Structure formats: structure tokens, C-alpha cells
Amino acid sequence: MQNLSKETILLFVLVISSSLVAYWQAKEIPPGVTCDSDSDCFLLRSGPLSAPVPALIYLSCTGGKPWDIDSVREVHDSLGWAIATCGKSRNHRSVALNEADIIRLVEKLKATGRVDKSKIVLFGFSGQGAQALGTALRHPDLFAGVISDCAHTGSVTIFDTDRSSKQAFYIITREQDWNRKYNEKLHNLFIENNIADTLIINPGEHGIGPAREIFDGCLWLAKQWNVNSR
């Protein structure tokens, strides 16, 4: 490689990148999912709607991909929610940069006119669970709640009990999760301040759980909204 010019190496990288994008588009994008130039992907309700629907934003530790949507597709197929992934938010990147891209994604969802802007939920595992918690608590006007899986609380910098009074949090941890203590402390903090939440402690070690956990979290959040609307 040391005999190759910088221009040749750059061309090689561009060819490989283009090939990967083409493969992505041809093989990996599931039916009904669309992705934009920011690598944000969407699965929206098709056809006429009687009313805008809730939306789940999936944050991945390596950046959201179209198949992340497919992994939780039941949230769309059974509950009728929209689902989106944030392509740029990921671990080992600035929390502020991640947050800016997440908020930009929220604006895209709102611009469709098909998403209930009062019912946008973040999901994240581990570091992106921490991102979800921190972003939602900093912007309670944008996010109805969070489903977090084995998250820590390192991204939580603001907790305004008044502004977060209408939010709800579905917290998942595991018996041997190294972040379990943070989840338990956060759960107790929410209880003390009358913030709707539930703590689910499942068997196992630190690791992302089955898609059913996310589905159950969406069901729980929907019940909270029904209670609050009475």
C-alpha cells in the first residue's frame, strides 16, 4: 500500500463505499422502509390516517440501520406506530452532536404530518439508552418518554421535575447488568418525583434483549397515555 498514491487510495475507498451503499439499497432495506441522505430511515403508516400516530425512534450503538426498524417491525404492524432510526447517533461520539441529529430527525417526522408530535418515544440500549434518557430529559417538550435497555445515566445532565411531569419511562435492566444500580437509582428518583415509570429486571447479563421487550415498552407507554387522557 505504501507505493500507492493518495489519489489511488481515495478512489479505492470511494469505490468500496459506493459498492456498500448499492448493496445496502439492493439487499438490506426492508419493505416499506425508506432512508434519506442523512442515513435516517423511516417506516411510516401508508394510506389515509384518522389521526397522526405515535413514533418510536430507535437509537443504535453503531448508528441506526434499516434492519433495526425491521427488528421491531411489530410495533408498526401491530400497534400502528411509525418507526425511525437515527443514522448518525452512536456511541463514542459527542452527546451534543448525537442530540442535534436526533432533534433533526424529530423535525423530519413532524414534517410528514403523519406522526403525533406529542407521542414521540426514544429507544436505546446501553450507551444509546443513556443518550435517549439524557436527550428526553433535556427536551421534554419533544419526547413523550423513553424505553431504555441496560442504560447508564452518564448523559443525564438535567432533571426538571415540572417539565418532565408528563413524560414516562420504561426502564429495562438485567440481574447481572453492570448498569443495574443506575437503573434502580433512576427508578427511585422518578418515584420520588411522581414521574411515570416502571423498572423491568430480566434474567441475564448486560446485553440487548429480544424485540418483544421494546414492544412491551410501547404497549406500556400507550397505556400511560390512555390513563392521562381520561
Confidence of residue 46 (pLDDT cuts 50, 70, 90): confident
Helices 127-138 and 95-111: crossing angle in degrees, nearest 10, is 70
Q: How far apart are CA 26 and CA 59, in angstroms?
A: 23
State mean pLDDT over 87-102.
Answer: 97
Model pLDDT for residues 115-125, shown as the tens digit of each residue: 999 999 999 99
Q: What is the pLDDT of residue 1?
A: 46
Query: Could you tell me the fold of the domain covering 30-229?
Result: Rossmann fold (3.40.50)
What is the residue whose three cell numbers read 447517533?
Answer: 89
Beta-bridged to residue 84, according to DSSP, are: 42, 57
Q: Where are the domains of the chain?
A: 30-229
Whether this model's pTM surpasses 0.85: yes
